[in-house]
Amino acid sequence: MSKVSIVFVYNADSGLFNEMKDYVHKMVSPSSYGCNLCAITYGNAGMKSEWRSFVDDLPIPVVFLHKDEFDKEYNYPGASFPCVYLEKDHRLDLLITPDEINGCNDIGDLKALVNDKLKFIAGN
């Protein structure tokens, strides 16, 4: 049986130092922060509960990776972040582009985008 998952990739690196740096950046200059996926889905206390509930209810398992983790796991040259991939048997298909994520203003926009993409996949 095929393993299918949705892979959300942040435009940020992993690690405590990077998390602290990103936290400060979002507080001091949110308009110049480079990861709209992070900005929309995370608050000061971690992942927003509305987003957590949404991804927990998706019909496909979800994976969240930072860009350095993504590079290590998939070695996928030329990827741009933030983005979302559909993974099937370790093969990636771009599901949501950085421009689409960056066009979202809030969780509602992002949820609608994800739902639209999943409806398209289910229809094919």
Q: Quick one: pLDDT at residue 45?
A: 80
Domain count, the chain: 1
Pairing state of beta strands 46-47 and 62-66? unpaired
Residue 78: DSSP 8-state = T
Question: Model pTM?
Answer: 0.83
- What pLDDT, on a 0 to 100 scale, did the predictor assign at position 115? 96
Q: Tell me the C-alpha distance between 104 and 106, whole Å.
A: 6
pLDDT tier for residue 27 given thresholds of 50, 70 and 90? low
- Better-predicted residue by pLDDT, 58 or 77: 58
Range of 96's domain? 4-123
In whole angstroms, give the CA distance from residue 65 to residue 70. 6
Mean pLDDT of the chain: 85
Q: What is residue 38's predicted lDDT score, i.e. its pLDDT?
A: 86
Tokens of 43: 């608050």
Q: Which of 20, 111, 103 is nearest to 62 (CA)?
A: 111
Q: Provide the pLDDT for residue 77.
A: 82
